[in-house]
Structures are given as C-alpha cells and as structure tokens.
Amino acid sequence: MKKRNKIISIVMLSLLVIGVATASLLTYFGVITSTTIIEQSVLVDGKDIIGGSLELIDDGGVHTLVNNANVDAVVKLEPSCTALVGDCEGITTTYVGVLNLTKKDTADWSVYIGDKIEITYTLVGETFEVTGVPEGYTLIYYKDAEIELGERIANPQPAILITPTIGNLPKDNDANLNADYSQAPDNYLHKTGAKLWAIPEGALSGTTLVWSLWDDFLYETDLMAYSANGDGNITLPANGGGINFRIVNRFDAALAPDTYTINTTVVPQ
C-alpha cells in the first residue's frame, strides 16, 4: 500500500508542472482600444491648418478667430515683415476689434432696421478705447442674467458704461458665456461673448436703461471679447467665443520704394 501511494504522488506532481507550463504560453489576456479625434480648437477665418499649412490673404477686410474648445483659449497676434531689397523700418502693424451695431425690430430680433454702423475697439491692452460711436449715443456693456429672452424687460440688468478701465470683457458672471447665439433668431458667428450697445442720450437713468426708448438702441450683431493686459495675450471665450478684427498697417512717409510682405501669425500661448 505504501508503494502505491508514492507513485500517485509523483503523477500528480507531473500534472501540476504541465499546467504551469501551459499558462506561461499566454502573452496577454486582452486589448482595450481608445480612439480620440483631435480637432483644431481655434479657427482662423473659419479654417484650420490640420493636414497642411494655412495662408490667408489680407485684403483689408475683417478676419475672425473662433474658439471651439470647451475651455478659454489664449492667443497672440504676432506681426512680421520682410522686404524684397531693404528692411521694414518704418512699418508698424496693429490690430483692432470690429463690431457692427444696428437698430432691431424688437418684435423679431432677427430683423435689422436701417444701416449698420461699425465701431472699432481695443482687442488687448491696458486701456479700452473705442471709435465710431455716433454723436448723441453712449456705449454700454450689457451683461445678461440667466433668464429667458422674453423676461429681459421684466428683469432688466444694469447698464455698464464703457470706460477705458472697464477690464476684461465679457465678465466671468455674464450669462452670455453660457448661451449659443449662433442659433436663431441671432445667427451670430460667435456663440458666446460680450454684448456692446450704443444707446441714445436720455436712455439711461443711473445704471437703469429706459426701455421705452429701445427702438432707438443700436444693438450688437455679433459678440466680442477684450483682454485687459499689457502682454498682448488675447483670451477667446470657450464654446464658440472669439473676435472679429482688422489688421492695420501704417507706413512711414519716408519709407523706401520696395516690395513688403507683412504676415500675422496666430500663436497659442
């Protein structure tokens, strides 16, 4: 009996060795795959450079930056210049924000009444400057609250006068940062941002708008942004915010005859 038991133990040991050897042949137990699609967050004139390079011609018109990311995007507009023969001494390049204002049919906000006016404003800088506001009008920043469109008159928000030291626009608690103005009735290029209005004299009592004069208000036709700093960094609001801007080149009267190429590069910060 003792001899038989010993033989069985040897067989069982052999089976265990075989089992361990079989398991060691596995190289992995499974593969988990994740696929991510990367898209360019900031579009320049509605285009991106993924898959190639992007060169846009400046014809003196209005250019756009739109931030499609779900976080703010910080960029800088950097100019450069080359000359065919000499140098670019005497050429300066700056940038201004561009916004059109107009009267609107208050029964149907998608209907514009009369001609649009164009105002230009500081995109980035320590002070905010604006040109183009008609005589007899005052420029304000209108910061919405989290209320429905039809409740704005019943729950009016205070008007904020535009001053050189107004600071960043839009403000952090502006409900227009959580809106989507690319939808009807507005159909704006920029989904989020700040509203600038020009209101006639007499339409402001302290910080309260006199809504009985609202047919004479000049309303925004798109949203905007301003960055109050001296380092040139422009903050584009998240989720479709951005700016409309124009490139302004100034040439010294004593500039030598030559062919000059002036480029603007939109650089992430």
pLDDT digits (tens, 9 = 90+) for 244-253: 999 999 999 9
pLDDT higher at 162 or 158: 162
Cβ neighbours of 227 (radius 10 Å) = 21
Residue located via tokens 């002070």: 127
Residue whose tokens read 């596995």:
26
Q: Tell me: pLDDT of 147 over 70.
A: no
Alpha-carbon separation of residue 162 from 112, 134, 141, 193 (angstroms): 24, 14, 6, 16
Residue 34's pLDDT is 83
Q: Which helix (H) or strand (E) holds 17?
A: helix 2-23
> What distance in Å separates the CA atoms of residue 75 and residue 143, rounded to the nearest whole number?
24
Compute the radius of gyration of the chain from its Cα atoms.
31
Give how far the C-alpha of residue 188 lies from the chain's centroid of Cα atoms, to the nearest Å. 13
Six-digit token string for 22? 């079989």
245 contacts 123 by C-beta, under 8 angstroms: yes
Contact criterion met (CB below 8 Å) for 93 and 247: yes
Is residue 260 predicted with pLDDT exceeding 70?
Answer: yes
Instruction: For residue 246, count other CB atoms closer than 10 A to its CB.
Output: 17
Predicted pLDDT at 1: 45
The count of other CB atoms within 10 Å of the CB of residue 150 is: 7
DSSP calls for 65-105? EEE-SSS-EEEEEEEEEEESSS--TTEEEEEEEEEEEEEEE
Residues 199/209, Cβ–Cβ less than 8 Å: yes
Flag whether pLDDT at 150 surpasses 90: no
| Average pLDDT of the chain, as a whole number | 88
What pLDDT does 106 receive? 86
Greatest Cα pair distance in the chain: 118
Residue 156 has pLDDT above 90, yes or no: no
- pLDDT confidence band for 200 (50 / 70 / 90): very high
In the predicted structure, residue 52 carries a pLDDT above the cut 90: no
68 token code pair: 């499609």
> What tens digit of pLDDT does each residue of 63-114 get?
999 999 999 999 999 999 999 999 999 999 999 999 999 999 988 889 999 9
For residue 5, is pLDDT > 90? Answer: no
| 213 vs 7: which has the higher pLDDT | 213
Task: Please name which of 123, 170, 109, 115 lies closest in space to residue 142, comparing C-alpha atoms.
Answer: 170
Residue 158's pLDDT is what?
Answer: 87
Q: Which of 6-20, 150-164, 194-208 has the lowest mean pLDDT?
A: 6-20
| pLDDT at residue 170 greater than cutoff 70 | yes
